[in-house]
Amino acid sequence: LSTVYDTRGTNPEPVSTEDAAVLVFRLDGGAVGSSTISQVSPGHKNDLRIAVDTPRHSFEFHQEEPNTLWIGGREQTRIWHRADEDASPSSTAYDQSPGGHPQGWRDAFTSFVADTYRAAQGEEVDGLPTFDDGLRAAVLTDAVLTSAASGGWVDVH
């Protein structure tokens, strides 16, 4: 149980739900990662952020800036734009508007529905979630809840 306050820092209200979580995980290959999930980060409007760090580069995507990808490197750091000339055909296949026009959640959802419809018509569509993906999500969710309750690591196979 935690407490939240109004914008003046007064009027405390008890909160009995999970409004934030930090997950730490280790992959089979030994890589370590973390994930922060929060519904209480002031100023972030459904902002999905994904960051991946490798020995040579770092990558960051912010859903609130859906047309850009931050790419960091030892020699050069740059902002890659969705409409840049070096965009791959697999990424531009889902462009629903020309470069310079925002594209975001609604466009991605529309593309997902279109892919689902094509798959239902018998077309082979890469990337759609499967039953196995749903099962894996349920197993991971159960592992997170078990780890939170026990305070320890949980192996997921």
- Residue-wise pLDDT tens digits, 109-121: 888 999 999 999 9
Question: Which carries the bigger pLDDT value, residue 99 or residue 53?
Answer: 53
Place of tokens 């370590």: 32
| Helical spans, DSSP H, in 28-156 | 89-92, 105-120, 131-150
Handedness of CA 131, 137, 138, 140 (dihedral sign): positive
Residue 145 contacts residue 138 (beta carbons within 8 Å): no
Mean pLDDT of the chain: 85
